[in-house]
Amino acid sequence: MIQLKDIEKVYRTDRIETVALADVNLTVAEGGFVSIMGPSGCGKSTLLNLMGLLDAPTKGTVQINGSPIASYSDRAMAALRNRDIGFVFQVFHLVTDLSVLDNVQIPLLYRRMSNADRRTHAEAALDRVGLSARMHHFPSQLSGGQQQRVAIARAIVGKPRILLADEPTGNLDSQMGDEIMSILATLNREDRTTIVMVTHDQQKAAQTSRIVRLFDGRQVN
């Protein structure tokens, strides 16, 4: 499903060069539930961004479904992200000016789809995360856990095969965090959605089928 080969990511400024990732080789099989762990600044989010095609490696290749991404144009990558990848962020990144329903529809705006279909899909996604009753609310009217559930609904509304979650429970208390983990586990189990999750939390990582550990930009297992 996702294959990273000899990945290196270096950030360069005028004065310094920072190696964020080096010699990373990782394959995530279809239907896998993988967590990435490691201390702050070890390259976890960078790795997730490379998998999500939000950034390009300095060296090495990223393959999604067997196709090397380097050959893709920006437009083709945008289309691939839209179709196959969903994102959940630690800070939710909901658009504050839009209602819950409109937020969830965002990925569908970039597909050929009628307004009515978009709405039906968004309502179904909100139903899955238990937020149907809040679809006309605005993000500021929701708790952190509810906002993250909206973010998950937005990530899954387009039925992507891959879900990338960057510390999805990092800003939530333990009960809300458990709720989010339960939703992710259900998606993985019932829909066979491939999930890669960055986390600091050993307990949450233990609920996934595989843990990848990073230290100073290198895999340690």
Partner 1 sequence: MVRHYLVLAVKVLLRRKFFTFISLFGISFTLLVLTVIAAFFDHALGPGQEEPRQRRTLYMERTLMYGPHSTSGSSGGFKLFDRYARDLPGLERLSLHENARTVHTYLDGRKISSTLKRTDDEYWRILEFRFVEGTSFGTADVAEARFVAVINVATRDRIFGGWPALGQTFEADGQRFRVIGVVENVSSLRSVPYADIWVPYTTAKTDAFKREITGDWSAMALAKDKASMAAIHEEFNSRLLRVELPNPRDYQALVAPFETRLATFAREMPLADRKDPDSQVWRFVGLFTLLGLLFVLVPAVNLVNINISRIMERASEIGVRKAFGAPARALVGQFLVENILLTVIGGAVGFVLSIFVLQGVTDSGLFKYAHLTVNLRVFAYGMAFAVLFGLISGVYPAWRMSRLNPVQALKGGSR
Footprint of partner 1 (CB under 8 A): 49, 52, 54-55, 74-75, 78-83, 86-87, 89, 93, 95, 97-98, 102, 105-107, 109-110, 115, 154, 158
Q: Which is nearer to partner 1, 83 or 218 (CB)?
A: 83
Q: How far apart are CA 90 and CA 126, in angstroms?
A: 19
Sign of the CA dihedral running 113, 95, 78, 66: negative
Q: Which is nearer to partner 1, 107 or 168 (CB)?
A: 107
- In the complex, the smallest distance separating the C-beta of residue 221 from partner 1, rounded to whole angstroms, is 26
55 DSSP 8-state letter: S
Q: Which is nearer to partner 1, 40 or 115 (CB)?
A: 115
Q: How far apart are CA 134 and CA 143, in angstroms?
A: 11
Q: Which is nearer to partner 1, 106 or 211 (CB)?
A: 106
- In the complex, the smallest distance separating the C-beta of residue 109 from partner 1, rounded to whole angstroms, is 5
- In the complex, the smallest distance separating the C-beta of residue 18 from partner 1, rounded to whole angstroms, is 14
Q: Which is nearer to partner 1, 102 or 179 (CB)?
A: 102
- Among all chains, which residue has been given the structure tokens 């899909």? 121
- In the complex, the smallest distance separating the C-beta of residue 49 from partner 1, rounded to whole angstroms, is 5
As to burial, measured by CB atoms within 10 angstroms (0-12 exposed, 13-18 middle, 19+ buried), residue 54 is: middle
Q: Which is nearer to partner 1, 93 or 210 (CB)?
A: 93
Interhelix angle 144-156/174-190, nearest 10 degrees: 20
Interhelix angle 115-128/144-156, nearest 10 degrees: 130
- Per DSSP, the residues of 88-144 read E-TT----TTS-HHHHHHHHHHTSS--HHHHHHHHHHHHHHTT-GGGTTS-GGGS-H
- In the complex, the smallest distance separating the C-beta of residue 55 from partner 1, rounded to whole angstroms, is 5
- In the complex, the smallest distance separating the C-beta of residue 33 from partner 1, rounded to whole angstroms, is 21
